[in-house]
Chain A
Amino acid sequence: MTDETRTEISLLVNGETSVLIVDNRRTLLDALREQLGLTGTKKGCDQGQCGACTILVDGRRVVSCLTLAVTADGVGVTTVEGLAEDGELSPLQEAFVRLDGLQCGFCTPGQLCSAAGMLAEHAAGWPSAVTRGGTPDLDEAEIRERMSGNLCRCSAYPSIVRAIQETAVSR
């Protein structure tokens, strides 16, 4: 059944369309890394337990390690390589560097994509587990809860939260 186990898909990644043939077993994470050479997205656990592989699919943050590439045919993907525009860091990226919201840097692409997706979710009025009542302010407790799917073993957590909060306020 070899013919049925591979599929041609089209992906719009960081604004560029790519057509590729994927082994149905291949995750979107491995397709990005191994076939498109976009190694900025990291494999930290490959089982949805660390968040390092977080990317944006049609604007929503997901873990690419549990997304089969074959299911992503036709979607728009933003990876960490697509966050800067024309070589200019996004405000979030700039704040991460300036406030040192990173150490080893391995979880950083996931933290950044997750933060970008999280800010959009908050802007859409989505609640979190610590939200009480209506639309929440994005205080530290809200940011921490909403970012908890991104583990950082260097534990740059306080500076990551500061960088996100600063970016959110300046928006």
Chain B
Amino acid sequence: MDSSLVYEILLRMRHDELFDYCVDITAVHYPKREAQFDIVYILYSFHHNERVRIKTQIKDGEHLRTAVTIWETANWLEREVFDMFGIVFDGHPDLKRILMPDGWKGHPLRKDYPILQQDQEWVKINLGIESGQ
């Protein structure tokens, strides 16, 4: 669905459809698409014993409205998405890196982030040689 509607829909899911438990928020990166990111909200309702996935697509650099006001648990989950994919959530109380160190370059779970980059860079800077990996 359209990314501008997401917040409204989440709000409605929470209050009208009683999906009171936000299981997970995550993202998937499709570098070849124009809207590069899939943001996935997995919700669960204790009342209906049902699980729902809500997906939206956004472009790189586009912002989303935070879901922290709807579910407190979204706090760390959104921080992780920000950390791993660089997706900014507007209105998030404390949007900063969570798993990676503060000074980390890049967002590791993007598909264009090579798995050996960090290692090679470290070897080059600290040992002054090309990494053999």
A, B from the same assembly:
no
